[in-house]
Amino acid sequence: MHLVRVGSIALVVAALPALAPGQEESLRIDAEHPRILLGQRRLRLLRRERERQSLRWNQFQLLMAGKAPMPEPGFANALYYEVSGDSRAGRDAVAWALGPGADLRQLALVFDWCQNVLTEAQSKALAAKLARGIEQTRPDSSLGAVRSRLLAAVALAGHLPEVSDRELEQTVHKWWEGQIAPALNAGRQSLPLDDSYALLEMLHVVRDNLNVDLRDAAPRFFHNLPLIHLLSCYPATYAAAENEYRIPAMLHPTAEPDLRRAALARATELSMVAYDSNAPSSQLLQGWLMNDNFLMRGAFGIPYEFLWANPYQPGLSYYKAPLVLHDELLGRLFVRSSWEESAAWLGFFDGNLQLFEDGRATVLNARLDAAPLPLGRAVILFGAHTRKFKVAVSGDEPVFVVGLKPRQTYAIEVDHEEMREEESDPGGILELDLPHKAETAVRLREVGGQAARSSAPRAQ
């Protein structure tokens, strides 16, 4: 039985060189363009893919040569220019950026990737537009907005150094190290999975240009993030006109999934593998990704697919991945009965409990009184109102109680065992260690509450 407990794994984090007293880490960037996402190694790989006429390059080239409407024209044209050398695509990207373009992220990519086709006047005009974009989006503290300002700051390094230095200091030291990472380490801040692609772009850009790994400030959050992405997808795939999609769990399930959201989820996973290809969880994720049925062929997805996919990177079969993952840090739980598309799936995330069976997802109320739910790989108990259970664990599957109060200490009484106390996680999940192959009576009582002060008898 495969089980991962994210919050309890011992982590070995590489030590960074210590700074001398009073010495501040330099955030100055002096690298040549391109410096955003297209490091020398990745650019060489992408140009080799063009020379080899790979499947991904041919699909990208087909759409670009056919003048297919690209949902992100700045990104697509600038990438095509950098890899192919087609100056017409570069000029198209610049025309978009200096004309109707308003997406700060794409403006930064065009400025960084198309320097060789920018005239001096165009370069100054686009740099000024980036600086205005940074200031205009500053009140927005969403992860996507912070990512876009960071990319713009990196692009502007050496052109408008005061703007660049100020934004890098704000993002890396004040926002990430001063606010987000401490909150993540305390289990108080959950970065939504839908924001993960923006986060991965930030990781790549900061490490490539500043030699700083943002994961080091919140190692427990990042350790199994690839597996969380893998397990948080519904088992059944969705066949669209251009390719098949794996659908990430939705807070409000709908009959027709958001395919752009699914495409960004795949782009996130591809970029995770690119960021840390040697991690065991990344190798499992690579095995999950390298199935050509899921290769993104549409106008939105193909630039991301071509940018990030590395079909030469070895992977491990995702059938070796855990089927149960309990994230104790942020209070999330994902369970699959198997890795088949017909599997049953349960997810508890962002306070939302869902069960996926027979091709559809159902939102459950974790606080209702309900019978134990066996899923083959785990047993789920609903503990908001029922605090006395009889549970039969046939094998070594774990037992989880959901719907409890977050961070509440509970006294746990199990037949023929001494009473012990344990605390629920930030999501109100409590994992029970119970005897196997026998029906066991379990009683939970809140410590410090009225239930704990009552004289209720020991479970029999």
Residue 339 covered by a domain: no
What distance in Å separates the CA atoms of residue 107 and residue 155, rounded to the nearest whole number?
9
Q: How many domains does the chain have?
A: 2
pLDDT confidence of residue 28? 86
Evaluate whether residue 402 is within a structural domain: yes
Per-residue pLDDT tens for 50-108?
999 999 999 999 999 999 999 999 999 999 999 999 999 999 999 999 999 999 999 99
Domain end residue (candidates: 259, 289, 308): 308
Whether the CA torsion 192, 196, 202, 204 is positive or negative: it is positive
Task: Tell me the DSSP string of 313-328.
Answer: S----GGGS-SEEEET
The token duo for 102 is: 């308003």
**382 and 293 within one domain:** no
**Is 382 found in the same domain as 304?**
no
Residue 288 is predicted with a pLDDT of 96
* pLDDT tens per residue, range 404-443: 999 999 999 988 888 999 999 999 999 988 877 778 888 9
Q: Are residues 77 and 144 in the same domain?
A: yes
User: Do 230 and 301 sit in the same domain of this protein?
Assistant: yes
- Torsion, Cα of 203, 204, 205, 209 (10° steps): 110
Residue 344 domain-assigned (yes or no): no
Contact 124, 47 (CB under 8 A): no
Based on the number of CB atoms within 10 Å of its own CB, is 172 exposed (0-12), middle (13-18) or buried (19 or more)? Answer: buried
Look at residue 341 and tell me if it is in a domain: no
pLDDT tens sequence across 353-377: 999 999 999 999 877 767 778 888 8
**Rounded to whole angstroms, how far apart are CA atoms 409 and 244?**
45
Host domain of residue 424: 365-460
In a domain, 106, yes or no: yes
Q: Which string of DSSP letters, residue by residue, matches 6-33?
A: GGG-----PPPPPPPTT--------PPS
Q: Quick one: 382 and 256 in the same domain?
A: no
Pairwise CA distance, residues 41 & 382, whole Å = 50
Among 289, 308, 327, where does a domain finish?
308
One domain for residues 304 and 372: no
Question: 428 and 303, same structural domain?
Answer: no
Same domain, 283 and 387: no
377 shares a domain with 286: no
Q: Are residues 52 and 175 in the same domain?
A: yes
How far is Cα 179 from Cα 188, in angstroms, rounded to an integer?
11
Q: What are phi and psi of 355, to 5 degrees?
A: -125, 130
- 6 class by beta-carbon count within 10 Å (0-12 exposed, 13-18 middle, 19+ buried): buried
Question: Which DSSP string do the residues of 58-84 spell out, in sequence order?
Answer: HHHHHHHHTTPPPSSHHHHHHHHHHHH
Q: How far is CA 149 from CA 69, 138, 169, 190, 354, in A?
A: 26, 8, 12, 21, 35
59 and 190 together in one domain: yes
CA 371 to chain centre: 33
The span from the CA of 396 to the CA of 377, in Å, is: 8
pLDDT of 459 reads: 37
325, 334 Cβ separation under 8 angstroms: yes
Q: Give the per-residue pLDDT at 384.
A: 66
Q: In this structure, is residue 183 part of a structural domain?
A: yes
Q: Which helix (H) or strand (E) holds 230?
A: helix 225-231
Q: What is the CATH number of the domain that holds 434?
A: 2.60.40
Give the residue ranges of the chain where pLDDT is below 70: 1-26, 369, 384-386, 449-460
Residue 342 belongs to a domain: no
Residues 300 and 437 grouped into a single domain: no
Q: What is the CATH number of the domain that holds 69?
A: 1.50.10.100
Structural domain includes residue 41: yes
Question: How far is 371 from 373, CA to CA, in rounded Å?
Answer: 6
Q: Of the residues 308, 324, 349, which one is the last residue of a structural domain?
A: 308
Residue 59: the pLDDT is: 98
